[in-house]
Structure 1
Amino acid sequence: MMFQLHKNRSFSTYINDTFLFFKMHGKSYFKNYFIINGALLLLLIAIVFFGFQFYFQTLFSNLGNPGLDSNPMVNMLTDNVGFIAFFAILIMVLFFFISVLQYAFPVIYFDLFDKKNTDDIEPSEILQSLKQKSFKIFKFFIALIFIITPIIVLIFGLNILLFFIIIGIPLFFITAPAALSWVNISFYHYLNSTDRLFPSLALGFKYLKQQFWTNVGSTMIMIIIIQIVMTIFTTIPYLLGMVNMFTDFSPQSGPINPEQFSALPMLMTVVMVISLVANYILSNLIIVNQGLIYYSQKETEENTSANHSIDLIGSDSE
């Protein structure tokens, strides 16, 4: 039994089918995901781990020595301006490349899944499709940075101004998932069709409006689920570590012993790495959810499932 991409869905179905897809085809999906993204994620994790460990160790290095004339962090930044600038640019480029690959992977996977009607998808097929569509991917992200994002920022700015009359608060919780859904639907269509950028953005907006409250509602629920899981993965380890460090501390115990905080830089670094990895993995939930919205709205427009069933009958008879 294969997961059905093309079908009309309701609010609850969008949520249920998102998790059903991972239940049925998660093994194939994440196998390809980690083969293609794994090396870059490990590189990013290593850079973030050692970078933040150095940062936090320097930050806490003068703990218990308030009489120091200079701040080690300021000295470190001053003495290594060139290296830090190069390191920051390297991190930004790596983040951008991984984010683009992370964003495009589910779209490519769904396109192959739809065309082949199977989850027997090889990493080489995904890489080949990524290579063929690399220019469109790059073009969309340039448009996202210089065209789409300024429009969204302007809308959010108006929402913030409306906070003073209360109405801006509920509007923010509507426009944020609506903007996210519009961008995702447009990207799905732009990458998996022959349409140009602006027609794809127009069609994405049309698909968003067709079931506006259903689409926005399911997007918001997925955002909430991701935030809850992120909190569990990051806050709880951090709190447990802090409680462990402060267990033996009391105001009567005298001056703070720096050794009590020797594990704090490592703890904060580990929490940052966990947060980073969890964010990248969990973002698949929302991008897959947006794919279901796209294919469902496409089904409403084109009645694709009926045509696909006819093709399957023809192939079965051969």
Structure 2
Amino acid sequence: MFQLYKNRNFNEIIGDTFNFFKIHGKNYFANYLAINGGILLVLIVLLYFFMKVFYDGLFANGTINNNLIIENYFEENLTLFIGYGIGAFVLILILTLISHLYPIAYLKLIEKNEETNTKNLWNFIQSKLGKSIVFFLLTGITMLPICIALLFLCMLLFFIIVGIPLLMLVFPAMLICLSFAYYNYISTNDGYFTSISKGYKLFIKKPWPLIGSTMIIYMIVNTVVTVISFIPYFAGIFSLLFNIETQKTENLPESFTFIMVMVALTFILSISLNYLLQNIIFVNQGIMYYTRIDETENTSKLSEIDLIGSNEE
């Protein structure tokens, strides 16, 4: 059984993030795909057909269409593109809401020593969808303008040396504060502004281990997503370069078509991996949240009592 309430330092926060997936990873992602897999699949199919329609507008018989043909094509299929765009936006919105609630639901069931099955997870997610929408709407109205202003200021300072480290600190700090506020808002009966205040207080007590672990986890996840998703893209580029180098100009149209297919595959892989692996970031934020709650409310002793008699996995 994974212990949520625990006093952790920098190394333990990162270590316990991966220990969580070592213990619960198979069940966690199996339930995630059971809940989100259908929506993600529909989104991928929708994006595939969007890329196919876009490709048909740019090329004909392996050659690039002229500007007039491309313009006429997009005008004739404007309704189709708008439909794809609206459909993709709705699916991304639903998928994003559920994906943000899912790790909170999973950790909450662990906290309550309840079975982490699809039914219990979905029941929790359904009960908190309204609160999640309220949180994001209020954040967009109140906190988002402040965050944008701070990031803009950091970008202005980016041209002097102080702006670079400042940007690297401000972004994870804002992410952590909002994540803590979101966890608190969904997990408790606290109001929005109470949760924002509590999120800040939990962060500011010991910010450096939180910032450091967040940056490390982000770097790991983004590196994995980038490397894996760009493999098809580089395969297409190498194919084109090989045909140019060997002067096989008759194969260039096929190579260019192959590149476009690989670009589409890269795009789809990137989206899929982002939704799957962002769970590592969300769980990392959750572990930090429970760590800070333990430090302020001293709940680890109660957690240890609950764990008596449980089997270590």
Class of the TM-score when normalised by the shorter of the 2 chains: over 0.9
The Cα shift of 1:83 comes to: 2.8
Query: What does 1:249-260 correspond to in 2, within 5 Å?
Result: 249-250=244-245, 257-260=252-255
> 1:70 maps to which residue?
68
CA-CA distance at 1:179 after TM superposition: 1.1
Query: How many residues end up aligned between the 2 structures?
Result: 310
Q: 5 Å matches for 1:1-318?
A: 2-61=1-60, 64=63, 68=66, 70-72=68-70, 74-116=71-113, 120-250=115-245, 257-310=252-305
**Range that drifts further, 213-222 or 148-157:** 148-157
Cα shift at 1:64: 4.2
Letter in 2 for 1:92: F
State the distance in 2 between where 1:274 and 1:19 align: 23
Residue type of the partner of 2:130? F
Deviation at 1:76, TM superposition (A): 2.3
Q: Shift in Å at residue 172 of structure 1? A: 0.7
Moved more, 121-130 or 292-301: 121-130
Q: How far apart are the structure 1 equivalents of 2:306 and 2:260?
A: 60
**Distance in 2 separating the partners of 1:297 and 1:171:** 24
Match for 2:78: what amino acid?
V
**Considering only aligned residues, what root-mean-square deviation do their CA atoms show, in Å?**
2.2
Unaligned runs of 5+ in 1: none
Indicate conservation of the 8 Å contact 2:14/2:213, yes or no: yes
> Greater shift after overlay, 244-253 or 152-161?
244-253
- What SS does structure 2 have at the residue aligned with 1:248? helix
Q: After the TM superposition, which of the residue ranges 239-248 and 179-188 deviates more from structure 2?
A: 239-248
Distance in 2 between residues matched to 1:10 and 1:310, nearest whole Å? 22
1:22-41: CA deviation from partner (whole Å, max 9, x where unpaired): 00111221121111111101
> How far apart are the structure 1 equivalents of 2:304 and 2:276?
33
Cα-to-partner distance string for 1:124-159 (whole Å, 9 max, x where unaligned): 111111222222111111123222222111110111
Unaligned runs of 5+ in 2: none
CA distances 1:12-68 after superposition (whole Å, capped 9, x unpaired):
1111110000001112211211111111011111111121132134224486457x4
**Percent identity between the two aligned chains:** 35
TM-score (norm 1): 0.91
